Chains A and B, each alone.
Chain A
Amino acid sequence: MSRRHRRRRLLSAVILLLGLVFIFVPYLWIFLTALKRPVDAAAVPPMIFSPITTKNFEALVEGPFAGSLVASAIITILTTGATLLFGVPAGYAFARGKFRGRRFFTGWLLLSRMVPPVIFIIPLFLFFHRLKLVDTYQGLTLAYLTGLLPFTVWMCASYFQDIPIELEEAARIDGAGRTRTFLDVVLPLARPGILTVGLLIAIAAWSEYFIPLILAGINTTPATVGLVNFIGIDTLNWGALAAGALALVVPTFIVTLLAQRGMLRGLSAGAVKG
């Protein structure tokens, strides 16, 4: 190996390491601050290391934030369930069905991903007030669906298209109906893909802030909004804030580590097959 080559390799290792530091520092802040006493958390100059306390977590469990974590869990489960219930069959219809207006629907799916939520939220806000859906779990689930369903249908269709159609034809020849074929042949084969989509939806629902900011109320406030509403961002109560942030981050960390292989495809809307 030439010296030029070796020097270049060293340089690239240094740059990659700097990138990792950039990623790591905010997490370090969250982790260390969550364990700090209030006086140390916003000390001037900042204290990187300080006496450790679990007071912040105790305060969270006693306060309204704990309830908002429960609300987050309920919303996440309802949204993931509803999205898959509608999205998986619709994705199959897209992948295999030949129906009028298919191209129109495909274009619509892509477009609805491009339109920001703020465009949808104003009419939803007006409807929800009239239909008394504000501050209900049903209402929130419905609102989350508007954003997540097009993505789900798109991704599921891409997974279904990977399954050789010959398998389905064989099942049909053996006398299985359309529904039987879907449930017993196609669905088991697409399960890894559907699982990944489900996990990505769950993370998106768990992390959502904008929709519940507008459509949730005291009974349904999820932890993302609760973090700001119950702890506050201007009080410099950073210990509590970091503890709450940790509670939000840890579940998504675990899911990401478990499911990282398949996630790239979902992140790239199918452009990268992982």
Chain B
Amino acid sequence: MVAVTAVPFAITIGLAFTNYDLVRSADWRFVGLDNFARLLADRQTPQIIFNTAYLVIATTALETILGLGLAVLMASAIRGIGLIRTAYLLPIMTAPIVVALTWRAMFNNDAGWINYGLSLLGLPEPTWLGEAALAMPVVIIADMWTGVSFMAVLLLAGLLALPVEHAEAAEVDGASSWQAFRNVTLPALQPVLFVAIILRFMDAFRKFEGISVLTSGGPGIASTPLNLHIYNTGLFYHQIGFAAAYGVVMIVMIAASVGLIYLWLGRSR
């Protein structure tokens, strides 16, 4: 079992030190750190790294905050909680390609529902998929459809598993409901919060359909993060060695961010 994951993993890291190219696959050799030197010199690299950080941080932060808010509201709702929870499960289970295609149609400039809705309200209608500054927000909004649902459902389950007496006791003792939430409920929710954030982070790093189909990573490379860039470099332009070097950068970024989240939320477990 280790073989099916460990061997490809090791090979990718190894390939990062070669000049392997699909077009000239017969004559490849080790080139040391050449790929990494080229990567550092590449004018696209800073933008790609920035896009990755933008995507991962924005989606996780927004989805955690909104999901937590919804989970708290759902936990205190009396009626319809089962139905609401089921509704929030559906986006999580919908194929990402369907999500991407649907949002692509909804964000369409002329025939899309979003600009139509904005026009009815008398608001400006931006060319969502054509402007560099808007491409990433479009990706993030579409991601939130799945991500907020995911967070809400998971954190709701976490909230419902907590004993309510503790927060109630704090309120009886004179704490406001915000204080009770901040100082009693939230710390108790920390283990579930930690896992949910880690899982969402992983999903953001590996996000593919929601970018390649929704914005094609553009305009230009305005919405291309590492995952799509590795795909483009390696499997579209056939530069396997160079793509693998970006892969190593991605592994380092993931390891560093998981480490940071662990230090922040995971320690007291």
Instruction: Name the contact of B251 in the complex, choosing from A15, A48, A115, A150 (C-beta under 8 A).
Output: A115
Q: Which of B30-38, B73-81, B164-172 contacts A (4 or more CB under 8 A)?
A: B73-81
Whether A146 pairs with B4 at a CB distance below 8 angstroms is yes
Whether A118 pairs with B230 at a CB distance below 8 angstroms is yes
Whether A149 pairs with B4 at a CB distance below 8 angstroms is yes
Residues of chain B with a CB closer than 8 A to A97's CB: none
Within 8 A of B (CB), among A24-58: 24-27, 29-30, 33, 42-46, 48
Residues of chain A with a CB closer than 8 A to B88's CB: 19, 23
Residues of chain B with a CB closer than 8 A to A24's CB: 87
Whether A119 pairs with B251 at a CB distance below 8 angstroms is yes
Contact of A238 with B105 at beta-carbon distance under 8 Å, contacts A118-B227, A125-B235, A267-B150 already known:
yes
**B243: interface (CB < 8 Å):** yes
Q: Which of B39-47, B57-65, B200-208 contacts A (4 or more CB under 8 A)?
A: B200-208
**B99: interface (CB < 8 Å):** yes
**A260: interface (CB < 8 Å):** yes
Contact of A267 with B161 at beta-carbon distance under 8 Å, contacts A116-B205, A118-B206 already known:
no
Q: Shortest CB–CB separation between residue A191 and chain B, in angstroms?
A: 22
A contact patch SS: helix
Residues of chain B with a CB closer than 8 A to A118's CB: 206, 208, 227, 230-231, 247, 250
Within 8 A of A (CB), among B239-269: 240, 243-244, 247, 250-251, 254, 258
Number of A-B contacts (CB under 8 A): 215
Instruction: Name the contact of A16 in the complex, choosing from B2, B74, B202, B251 (C-beta under 8 A).
Output: B74
Residues of chain A with a CB closer than 8 A to B2's CB: 105, 108
Whether B250 pairs with A260 at a CB distance below 8 angstroms is no
Contact of A16 with B73 at beta-carbon distance under 8 Å, contacts A30-B102, A118-B227 already known:
yes
Residues of chain A with a CB closer than 8 A to B206's CB: 116-118
| Bound CA span A62–B61, Å | 45
Q: Shortest CB–CB separation between residue A239 and chain B, in angstroms?
A: 11
Which single residue of chain A is at the shortest CB-CB distance from B246? Answer: A118
Q: Shortest CB–CB separation between residue A246 and chain B, in angstroms?
A: 9
A137-168 interface bits toward B, Cβ cutoff 8 Å, 1 = contact, 0 = none: 00000100110011001000000000000000
**A172: interface (CB < 8 Å):** no
Most buried by B among A15, A42, A118: A118
Most buried by B among A86, A112, A149, A253: A112
| Bound CA span A118–B12, Å | 10
Q: Shortest CB–CB separation between residue A123 and chain B, in angstroms?
A: 4
Within 8 A of A (CB), among B102-133: 102-106, 108, 110-113, 116, 119
Whether A16 pairs with B84 at a CB distance below 8 angstroms is yes
Which single residue of chain A is at the shortest CB-CB distance from B153? Answer: A264
**A230: interface (CB < 8 Å):** no
Q: Which of A63-71, A181-189, A205-213 contacts B (4 or more CB under 8 A)?
A: A205-213
Residues of chain B with a CB closer than 8 A to A263's CB: 89, 93
Q: Shortest CB–CB separation between residue A50 and chain B, in angstroms?
A: 12
Whether A252 pairs with B94 at a CB distance below 8 angstroms is yes
Known: A115-B251, A271-B195, A272-B161. 18 other contacts (CB 8 A): A19-B152, A23-B87, A23-B91, A23-B149, A24-B87, A25-B106, A116-B206, A118-B231, A120-B9, A123-B8, A125-B235, A126-B240, A142-B4, A150-B5, A207-B95, A248-B97, A248-B98, A255-B93
Can you list 30 contacts pairing A with B, beta carbon distance less than 8 Å?
Answer: A16-B74, A19-B88, A19-B148, A26-B145, A43-B111, A113-B202, A115-B251, A115-B254, A116-B250, A119-B9, A122-B235, A126-B11, A126-B240, A146-B5, A209-B95, A210-B209, A227-B101, A238-B111, A241-B101, A249-B94, A255-B93, A256-B89, A260-B85, A263-B93, A264-B157, A267-B150, A267-B199, A271-B158, A271-B191, A272-B154
